[in-house]
Structures are given as structure tokens and as C-alpha cells.
Amino acid sequence: MRSILFPKPLLTAALGSVVVLAAAGTQSAHAATPASTTTTASAASAVSARASAVHATPRSSAVRTARAVPVVTRARVAETRFLELASLFAQSCEPRVLSVPDHVASAPTPDHTLPVLADPVPLTPTEECTAQRHQAWITKAFSGKETATYEQMRDRLTTLRYPGARIYRMPNFAGEPVARLDVRVGADHLALEVTDIGHGVMVRAFGAPKDVSVTEVLLKPQLDRPTS
């Protein structure tokens, strides 16, 4: 076969073009590599951040829920124990009043949210009997014990199965702590006022109208403390 001979200047120019193109390709490859790496790294960081956010949110919610559960559980347990106590007292009173009708004045429903002072309502025979059970239960537990502060009174009442949510602080009487207990169950009206009298307490029962806080019931002051 015959060889095709190119002129020397043309061959030199062709080789030079090849070298230039090869160099340009190499530079383009090197220039593209950092951009691709940076883009990939940025995408990975974004994905990681989103994953962290996704995992962090449930974990934070779980922590808050875990902290709230013990409080709710304790409140439910305390209320359940109180209801068992109230049911026991009520059942012990039922045989005495089966033939006695209940006549309790119903209080009107307030048409606003401001506190309203109300008069006590009469207690039914069942409620009076149940009140005696509560009075004996509390009086015996406080007998011979000094209650200098409301906090001490409240703590002792909670050990007697009265939930903290049913105990209300009242103004002191002659410098002694006073608390009121909302022991109403269902449609009952029974409430109690516990006053420290030094090495013991005086427990007073009264009827709280429906939809009225036990702290808003007006009671006539008892000036004379019991002698026993």
C-alpha cells in the first residue's frame, strides 16, 4: 500500500491541536471533580440534618410524655383510692336511710365565671351519715398530733387517701391552718372543713351547691372550740 505523506507544517499543526484538546479535557475533568464532590457533600449534609430533625422530634416528645405520665398516673391513683374510701363510707350508711327520701335544694347555675359566694345547702341523711364517717376518720388520724402549718395538714390528709386536688387552703383561724375538702361524688353535696386546734383538728361538714367551689361557700364562724 502506498503511504500518504503529509506536509510537515500540517502534521505539526495537527499534533498541536491534539495536545491542546487533551490538556483542555484534563483541566475540565479536574475542574468538575471538586464541584461534584461539593454538591454530593452538601446533599449528604442536608439529608443527615433532616434525619437528625426527624429523629430528634419524636425523642423530645417522648421525653415530655414520659415526664407527664407519672404525674397523671399519681393523680388517677389518688382519686381511685379516695373513691374507694368514699364508697366504703357511703355503703356503711345506706341501710340507715333506705326509707328516707332525699330532699336537697338545687343551686342555680351561675351565668358568669366570676367567683360567687354561696350559702351551704342542707345535707341528706345519707350525706350526714357519711360526714360522720369522714369526721371520725380524720379526727382519729390527727389526734395527739400537732399541725403547725397548712403543708403539714395537707400532707397528713393525703396519707388518709384524700387527693391533693380535693384539698383547698383557707384563711387561718386564730393563727391555725384551715383546709377544706371537696368530698362530693356524683350529685352529692358533702364537703368538709378541717381546722387545727392544737394536738388535734375540728372537722366540720357542710353542703356545697353544685357548680360552686367549696372555697366559695359561706360558713358561720364557730367561736367555741370543742372541749374533747
Distance CA 128, CA 104 (A): 12
Q: How many CB atoms lie within 10 A of CB 142?
A: 21
CA dihedral 224, 131, 187, 221 (to 10 degrees): 0
* Range 61-81 burial, b when 16+ CB lie within 10 A, else e: eeeeeeeeeeeeeeeeebeee
From 37-46, 96-105, 123-132, 167-176, the region with the lowest mean pLDDT:
96-105
Is residue 23 packed enough to be buried (19+ CB in 10 Å), middle (13-18) or exposed (0-12)?
Answer: exposed
Angle, CA of 212, 215 and 221, to the nearest 5°: 120
Beta bridge partners of 146: none
Instruction: Please tell me whether the overall predicted TM-score, pTM, comes out greater than 0.75 for this model.
Output: no
Does the CA dihedral 28-29-30-32 come out positive or negative? positive
Which pLDDT score is estimated for 223?
55
User: Please, what's the largest Cα pairwise distance for the chain?
Assistant: 142
Average pLDDT, the chain: 73
Confidence class of residue 207 from pLDDT cuts 50, 70 and 90? very high
Helix, strand, coil: what percent of the chain each, to 5? 55, 15, 30
State how far the alpha carbon of 154 is from the alpha carbons of 29, 97, 205, 206, 207, in Å. Answer: 80, 32, 17, 19, 21
Segment 152-165, tens digit of pLDDT? 999 999 999 999 99
